Amino acid sequence: MSDHVTELIALAFAEDLAGGVDITSVATIPTDQESIAQFVTRSAGVIAGIPVAIEVFRFVGITDISNTVSDGQYVHSGTVILEARGNTRKLLLAERTALNFLTHLSGIATLTKSWVDAVNGTHCLIRDTRKTTPGWRTLEKAAVRAGGGTNHRLALSDAALIKDNHIVAAGGVLAAFELVRDNYPNAEIEVEVDTLDQLREVLVAKPDLILLDNMPPGLCRQAVEIVNHSVKLEASGGITLENARAYATSGVDYLSIGALTHSAPALDIGLDLTMGK
């Protein structure tokens, strides 16, 4: 587990305890009591975050942990995905933090699978964005992969994406492109365009990728014909699960879906506790 994830876990516990103790558990549970904690799905979905949940238990000193489900697996309601055994107080201390990771990340993976299923049979890939929870980006993007999606850049330093505001600031789409190319000659460059005329203008510069912003499927199809496989195309804006297939069959290579990370509902997972080790 990366140092960054360990820091996130430590922050979660620091927030939960706020320098004190779990007064409910300390008051009601004997110091040496041991239990079995099982994480059980209350609804069907794709699981993500198992390694993080395991690390949460290890963080509080629970080492007897087993999982029958791995990230990326689709499970039905009522599936035991993780089991931990040990001190009851420690198990309950870890419960909410582990569930926060599991439910959120599994929700992202489950929603991503819905989008992937919607374009099944086409060559189009579902791709995430940087619309992520601060500090959680690597985990949320891993959850997207668990659901069958693909990742866009992890950080602003990974590649260039010239958007409308960059174009305004630079004085034009070609001017912005040339500035990036001159300053970062080895960087991958993606350019956002709003119209087919802009597409034709930037095509001569040979970018690595062109983002079609808020173009309906019909215009995307025309864009595909214009580029004629000379550059990859990504559609963004106005895309829903209901019209995703229309976009995918237009011939674009990617659908950029911010909702994968910023609007995914949590997957319903609960913890069932039984006495005895």
Catalytic residue numbers, as ranges: 96, 131, 163, 192, 213
Amino acid making up residue 232: K
Rounded to 5 degrees, what angle do the CA atoms 116, 117, 121 make?
95
* Most distant CA pair in the chain, distance: 73
* Contact between 209 and 242 (Cβ < 8 Å): no
In angstroms, how far is CA 247 from the centroid of its own chain?
A: 21
Which residue, among 54, 48, 132, 154, has the nearest Cα to 94 in the 3D structure?
Answer: 54
Beta bridge partners of 270: 40
**How far is residue 180's CA from residue 269's CA, in Å, rounded to a whole number?**
46
Total residue count of the chain as it appears in this document: 277
Coil, strand or helix: which one is 230?
coil
What is the distance between the alpha carbons of residues 24 and 257, in angstroms, rounded to a whole number? 42
Yes or no: say if 137 and 128 are a contact pair by the CB < 8 Å rule: no
User: In the chain, where do the E strands start and end?
Assistant: 34-41, 45-46, 64-66, 74-75, 80-87, 125-127, 160-162, 189-193, 209-213, 232-236, 254-256, 269-275
User: Residue 260 and residue 71: Cα distance in Å, rounded?
Assistant: 16
Residue the block writes with tokens 């599994």: 106
